Amino acid sequence: MREPATSYLNELNEIQRNAVTNIEGPVMVIAGPGSGKTRVLTYRIAHMINMGVPPGNILALTFTNKAAKEMKHRIESVVGQDANRVWAGTFHSLFARILRTEAHRLGFPNDFTIYDTDDTKSVMEEIIKTLNLDRKVYVAGQVRSRISSAKSNLITPKAYAANDDLMAMDRMNRRPLIYQIYEKYVAKCQKAGAMDFDDLLLQMFRLLYQNPDGVREKYQRQFRCIMVDEFQDTNYLQYEILKLLCLYDGSPRNICIVGDDAQSIYSFRGATIENILQYEHDFKDVKTFKLEQNYRSTSFIVNAANDVISYNAKQIQKKIWTDRSEGPKIKVIKSMTETEEGKRVADSIIEQKNRYNLANKEIAILYRTNGQSRIFEEALRRYNLNYRIYGGLSFYQRKEVKDLIAYMRLTVNDKDDEALKRVINYPRRGIGDSTIEGITTIANDNDMSMWEVIGKIEFNARAKKSIGEFVNLIQAFKDFSAKNDAYQTALYISKHSGIVDLFKAEGTPEAEARMENITSLLDGIQEFVEDDELSINEEFSTDKSLAKFLQSISLMTDADEDKTDVDTITLMSVHAAKGLEFKSVFVTGLEENLFPSYQSLSTPDQIDEERRLFYVAITRAEIYLVLTYANSRYQFGQMRFNDASRFIEEISEENIDAITSISREESKPAFGEPKLLGSFKKQLAAPKVDPSQFKPSPPESIKTGQKVLHLKFGEGEVTHIDERQVATIVFPQATDSKEKRIVLQFAKLQIIG
């Protein structure tokens, strides 16, 4: 081999350099957060090329096109144009490239069609219809998810039908014929010369496993060196393909995996942590390099991450460290309510911007579920702080939220044509596009609203029935709205419109996420109705109608977002934050049943994954880390009281500054200097107001001088009641302003003295 120019090696620490220069045999690089993983990955490929490995013999697999592009760019900066000859890309893109050459060996045309998710669902809907199955039971999205999972675990239709556990589960879910749908779907794809995303992996496995015309040896010779990024995110099928490529007689087994078991957070996508844990057993002579130096975060953040992850039983042992000692300890903010949590976060951001001169783009707010963004969006908008939703839409721009609000708008104002067009056939009720276009044309020609047109023209029998049902539905919403408040009406609309049933029936992770957004919207409306506090300068009103609620959010739904402004605070889920970093990070909603999620509490493995998710969240922060939680929040239309997350308790006391409310009125922590271990939960418990024992007194019985109990604010004393029946009450336990103005008409107060 030629002697290469290796000046780039000088940029690496000793462990990184060893990982880069050991290019023969199996290698595992365990890369902690902020440890220079990408640099090691790219320099290792560059080093292989410099040591004489032909670029075309290198296979570098990633999980995103962005990562592959960045990898090629970095390699190019070291070795020049040779970088373009490396097989670098995602599993799906590179396997699709191979199958474009080899698909004919499997009975597919080489120019096969790739079905996206919508195509797949459409084919499945057709099969479900052909089999005369109940589409409310056999929901296409749910069936697709089930079949996708089977493919990822190498289960063919025949094997599926023979698997007693799978069949029993389907029978239990009243879908015993999924195996038939699977069988027909595979046949249809074959006939149409099409593959879906799962097939790109499955057919690649099949190609190598069945080995028609000795094709496996061809690619074993081709890919003499294999690199896999984010190995902890691989599924069972991906790992099996890799083993077929590099485990054979005479193989040099030049495979290097890079990843971090502590950042394995995608089990819901089929990823399994077992792959990275099993790797050392499959490759006995593996060389393992642990990148433990963190270049991103301060010692308080790094030590907190070590504290937390130590509670996981299944892990590759490592100790992340840093020599960055500057920066404050971790802050923990306790709030009474989720609304207050949003306000506290916004207050803290302003404080950080002023004190540390931070730009908006250096700040991120992370949450466990996308539905939580609503609270923070509303708070940031009130303070005129620019923000963006990373990798998604702002709360009121999400389709399911806009759909439900469209039903509400139409209920309040039947002349709202845009709202009508949005929901007249959603969920589908058999009103075709041509019918809707006809109504629109007549309305435009006669200067009428579409609702007026619907009531005056004749339709064919099928359309007449469907439109009649729609009109009756909206009229029922109007009648209900006239007698009920905004929350009761919104709940009624969500149930009877069919939107909620649609998501419940689908049962996929995507549908669950949409349902979370619907629930968050309803919780926000419930909060609007039950809010008894009158803020300073707020207009006095007792109107809790749906029309009033829509008015209150109109500025949020109509607000123009400046797409050109790059200096924005980033809001995102923790899952979306993986791989990113910010100077300041707020990890929010840290309560039991929320983070960790209530769905994860059933098994230790799920709790461990939630803990890894928290680990990912806190290691996004470079200097400033703030953890926040609320004692109470609306969940599913009810006020729920939650304990602080166990993950806060798992952080050692020396890494946390104090439990504080970050209040303008208080410079001291709300609890003095707490001892976080041992008695933590007792100290951080919510005000002892048991909702089941709470019995509100009649509003007219509330008098000046009385001691009262409030669900949110705890104990207080009534100091004044004005002519509008707005009571001024001092609540010593409140974490912001102690003095509250409470509208007695809506107040839930219990007289205690």
Q: Show which residues are catalytic.
A: 37-38, 229-230, 263, 620
In this structure, what DSSP letter does residue 382 have?
H
How far is Cα 536 from Cα 427, in angstroms, rounded to an integer?
A: 42
- pLDDT at 673 (0 to 100): 35
Mean pLDDT of 80-105: 91
pLDDT bracket for residue 269 (50, 70, 90): confident
DSSP code per residue over 237-276 = HHHHHHHHHH-STT----EEEEE-GGG---GGGTB-THHH
pLDDT, tens digit, 9 for 90 and up, residues 549-608:
887 776 565 544 444 567 899 999 999 999 899 999 999 999 999 999 988 888 889 999
Helix (H, G, I), strand (E, B) or coil at 568: coil
Whether 675 has a pLDDT exceeding 60, the answer reads: no
* pLDDT, average across residues 52-62: 94
Given a contact cutoff of 8 angstroms between Cβ atoms, the answer to whether 329 and 621 are in contact is no
Burial class (CB in 10 A: 0-12, 13-18, 19+), 1: exposed
Radius of gyration of the chain (CA): 29
87-90 vs 255-259, strand pairing mode? unpaired
Instruction: Check whether 260 has a pLDDT greater than 70.
Output: yes
Task: Give the whole-angstrom CA distance, residue 609 versus residue 503.
Answer: 25
Confidence grade of residue 735 (pLDDT, cut at 50, 70, 90): low
pLDDT average, residue stretch 208-223:
95
Please give the single-letter amino acid code of residue 603: T
Span 110-138, average pLDDT: 89
- Rounded CA gap, 117 and 392, in Å? 18
For residue 690, the model assigns a pLDDT of 64
Average model confidence (pLDDT) across the chain:
87
Give 308-355 pLDDT, tens digit per residue. 999 998 899 999 999 988 889 999 999 988 999 999 999 999 999 999
Closest CA to 676 of 732, 623, 627, 615: 627
114: pLDDT strictly greater than 80? yes
Measure the CA–CA gap between 59 and 16, rounded to whole angstroms.
Answer: 21
Q: Which sign does the torsion angle of CA 420, 422, 423, 426 carry?
A: positive
Q: What is the pTM (predicted TM-score) of this model?
A: 0.80
Q: For residue range 743-753, what is the model confidence (pLDDT) as tens digits?
A: 888 888 888 87
The residue-averaged pLDDT of 664-681 equals 35
Weakest mean pLDDT among 29-38, 175-184, 456-465, 673-682:
673-682
Q: How confident is the model at residue 661 (pLDDT cuts 50, 70, 90)?
A: very low
Would you state the pLDDT for residue 743?
A: 86
pLDDT digits (tens, 9 = 90+) for 479-512: 999 999 999 999 999 999 999 888 888 777 788 8
- Residues ≥6 apart with Cβ < 8 Å to 692: none
Sheet of strand 739-743: strand arrangement: 739-743, 726-730, 714-721, 707-710, 749-751
pLDDT at 2 over 50: no
Best CA proximity match to 567, nearest among 351, 353, 345, 388: 388
- Give backbone dihedrals phi and psi of 259, rounded to 5 degrees, phi first: 180, -175
> Percent of the chain having pLDDT more than 90?
56
pLDDT at 392 over 80: no
Please name the helix (run of DSSP H) or strand (run of DSSP E) that holds residue 523, with its range, or none.
Answer: helix 509-530
Tokens representing 663?
A: 């209040």
Show the tokens assigned to 303.
């030590």
Cis peptide before 176 (omega within 30 of 0): no
